Amino acid sequence: GAVVSQHPSWVICKSGTSVKIECRSLDFQATTMFWYRQFPKQSLMLMATSNEGSKATYEQGVEKDKFLINHASLTLSTLTVTSAHPEDSSFYICSASAGTGKNEQYFGPGTRLTVT
Amino acid sequence: DAKTTQPPSMDCAEGRAANLPCNHSTISGNEYVYWYRQIHSQGPQYIIHGLKNNETNEMASLIITEDRKSSTLILPHATLRDTAVYYCIVRHKAAGNKLTFGGGTRVLVKP
């Protein structure tokens, strides 16, 4: 149980285009989803927290107009990187929590974004 | 959330127990200790968590000192597939599930 998927697993896009990444909880309802970014040889950095049906809460320094997050259902959250630039190339990882008391987060496999 | 300190790297022998230390000297009474690991180019995997009692599951054991200022994750019989970065995270029960990842310990299991 507690499986989280991401799609796509990797994507290459041209500078200036937008890319959408999907995060799905496959066997549980995720009241809260999180988006992280990880640069090579670095740790995960939390970008934003989203609760189903409400606006995402962004961490300091993360541009909300550039990284659009939608959490429209209890099993799906999307991250759209708008007007991507090479410096946005990174490993994007989502996690989901059922919020049922144990509060464990279950992570997706990650999406490798390369902007050329 | 309290900060944690972990050694940046460690090697261990396949088949032997791997003991991964973590210092969290500023932990407060209602903060949990969580351990996750990340195998290269994958998402983090939950391992175990605890408050003050020692915990054991099918993956590992967590030993928390009586003063709760440090803990040790024990992988009882390390395998090559346990090679990963291990993150010790302290999280407040009411922190909205936010996890703050530090540098972790890069564990290399050698044959």
pLDDT tens for each residue of B77-111: 999 999 999 999 998 766 566 788 999 999 999 99
Partner-chain residue, chosen from A32, A43, A49, that has the shortest CB–CB distance to B101: A43
Chain A residues within 8 Å of chain B (Cβ atoms): 4, 6, 32, 34, 36, 43-46, 49, 91, 93, 95, 97, 99, 103-110, 112
The pLDDT value given to residue A75: 93
> For A84-98, what is the mean pLDDT?
94
Q: How far is A103 from chain B (nearest CA, A)?
A: 6
| Mean pLDDT computed over B31-40 | 94
**Alpha carbon B51 to chain centroid distance?**
13
Kindly state the average pLDDT of the residues A72-96: 95
**What percentage of residues in chain B have a pLDDT greater than 70?**
94
Does the pLDDT of residue A46 top 60, yes or no? yes
Whether residue A93 is predicted with pLDDT greater than 70 in this model: the reply is yes
Instruction: Note whether B97 contacts A46, CB cutoff 8 Å.
Output: no
What is the average pLDDT across A5-25?
A: 97
CB burial string B62-71: b at 16+ within 10 A, e below: bbbeeebebb
Q: Beta strand B70-75 with A111-115: parallel, antiparallel or unpaired?
A: unpaired
Write down the pLDDT at residue A103: 63
A75 neighbors A25 (Cβ within 8 angstroms): yes
Minimal Cα distance from B93: which residue of A? A103
Cβ contact, residue pair B98, A34, below 8 Å: yes
Best of A42, A103, A106, A114 to disrupt the B interface (most B CBs within 10 Å) is: A103
Residue at token pair 């989803």 = A33
With contacts defined as CB-CB under 8 Å, which chain B residues touch A32?
96-97
Please tell me the distance from the alpha carbon of residue A81 to that of residue A10, in angstroms, as a whole number.
14
pLDDT band at A53 (very low <50, low <70, confident <90, very high): confident
